[in-house]
């Protein structure tokens, strides 16, 4: 990749031939006879090219394109620049790298700026579509927060399963004498009676929709929508380096966040069916709790 930093514009050059054919370019510059004026570009290749200084010509893959005070251009690696042009090159390369980072960052931010309406529409579609993100979030909240849609014993059980990242629902039963004998043989000690075994009865599909990091409101509302609201009033061309870095970091996450949110919605739809969640009913002993949970399951099918 070759990028030239020309005034307020970045110019990406396709081939090295386009550089060597520039007026004033030389592949054999004597650093003792010429003073460095500015760095105007940088490159990064898979294959190495020779340094353009007449007393070096060391092959390197990454370097800079420089111009002398007399108007000649050549290419040099960072080590060559430091060795032959000293502190002038050091300060110029730092300024150049920062300027390049800022300009590339601004390009990224402007590119994102022109996508904001498209992204807002994606978020709205994800949220408002039938059994979309808003519906999934509301129903998931009822499963993990006491006092909402399902009885407290199920909320407590699910909380433990979420913490353990364990989607398997179990049913406790009293161990048989044979099973206790085996347990005692494995532990090497006598066990008190009775003993109980947690027997797997189902694996809950879409269980990861319950994990804290998959909170759809946090992803779509607090992250994407809120940041877009702030971004739309930002003056991109007037941002300092820190501001460019900050917004660039966030912009680079948006597409992944939307993809993740879509996957969580799909998981939530698989999770939130009566057939999938009915296995939690075995955690309930009270008739009122069973009726309460039954209403919740019916509401999922009716939504």
- With 60 as the cut, is the pLDDT of residue 8 above it? no
Rounded (to 5) percent helix, strand, coil in the chain: 55, 20, 25
Place of tokens 């970045």: 10
For β-strands 36-50 and 73-76, DSSP reports them as unpaired
Could you give the percent of the chain with pLDDT greater than 90? Answer: 55
Does the predicted TM-score (pTM) go above 0.75?
yes
DSSP helix/strand/coil, 222: helix
Q: What is the pLDDT of residue 236?
A: 96
Each residue's pLDDT tens digit, 142-177: 999 877 789 999 999 999 999 999 999 998 888 888
- Burial of 214 by CB count in 10 Å (0-12 exposed, 13-18 middle, 19+ buried)? buried
The whole-number average pLDDT for the span 92-117 is 91
- The H-assigned helical ranges of 190-240 are 216, 226-231
- Rounded-to-integer distance, Cα 180 and Cα 105, Å: 66
- Burial of 292 by CB count in 10 Å (0-12 exposed, 13-18 middle, 19+ buried)? middle
Each residue's pLDDT tens digit, 119-132: 999 999 999 999 99
- Tell me which of 33-47, 101-115, 125-139 is least confident: 33-47
Given a contact cutoff of 8 angstroms between Cβ atoms, the answer to whether 170 and 181 are in contact is no
- Burial of 170 by CB count in 10 Å (0-12 exposed, 13-18 middle, 19+ buried)? middle
- With 90 as the cut, is the pLDDT of residue 178 above it? no
Between 178 and 225, the more confident residue is 225
Gyration radius of the chain's alpha carbons: 32
Q: What is the pLDDT of residue 49?
A: 87
Q: Where are the domains of the chain?
A: 2-100, 116-167+205-302, 168-203
Each residue's pLDDT tens digit, 211-268: 999 999 999 999 999 999 999 999 999 999 999 999 999 999 999 999 999 999 999 9
- With 70 as the cut, is the pLDDT of residue 183 above it? yes
Each residue's pLDDT tens digit, 95-104: 888 888 898 8
- With 90 as the cut, is the pLDDT of residue 137 above it? yes
Q: What residues are paired with 100 via a beta bridge?
A: none
Mean pLDDT of the chain: 90
- With 70 as the cut, is the pLDDT of residue 303 above it? no
């Amino acid at each position: 990749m070759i990028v030239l930093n020309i005034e307020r514009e970045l110019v990406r050059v396709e081939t090295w031939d386009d550089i060597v054919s520039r007026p004033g370019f030389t592949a054999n510059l004597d650093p003792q006879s010429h003073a460095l004026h500015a760095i105007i570009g940088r490159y990064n290749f898979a294959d190495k090219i020779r340094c353009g200084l007449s007393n070096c010509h060391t092959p390197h893959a990454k370097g800079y394109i420089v111009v002398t005070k007399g108007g000649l251009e050549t290419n040099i690696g960072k080590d060559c620049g430091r060795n032959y042009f000293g502190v002038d090159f050091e300060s110029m390369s730092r300024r150049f790298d920062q300027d390049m980072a800022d300009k590339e960052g601004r390009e990224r931010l402007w590119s994102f700026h022109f996508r904001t309406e498209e992204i807002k529409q994606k978020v709205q579609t994800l949220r408002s579509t039938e059994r979309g993100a808003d519906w999934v979030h509301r129903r998931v909240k009822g499963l993990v927060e006491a006092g909402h849609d399902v009885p407290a014993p199920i909320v407590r059980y699910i909380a433990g399963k979420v913490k353990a990242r364990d989607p398997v629902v179990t049913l406790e039963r009293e161990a048989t004498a044979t099973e206790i004998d085996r347990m005692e043989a494995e532990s090497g000690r006598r066990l008190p009676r009775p003993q109980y075994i947690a027997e797997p009865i189902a694996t809950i599909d879409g269980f990861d929709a319950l994990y804290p990091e998959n909170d759809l409101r946090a992803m779509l509302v607090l992250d994407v929508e809120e940041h877009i609201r702030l971004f739309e009033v930002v003056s991109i061309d007037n941002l300092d380096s820190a501001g460019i870095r900050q917004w660039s970091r966030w912009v680079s996450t948006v597409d992944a966040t939307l993809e993740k949110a879509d996957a969580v919605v799909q998981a939530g739809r698989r999770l939130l069916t009566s057939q999938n969640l009915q296995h939690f009913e075995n955690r309930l002993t009270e008739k009122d709790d069973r009726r309460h949970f039954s209403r919740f399951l019916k509401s999922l099918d009716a939504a």
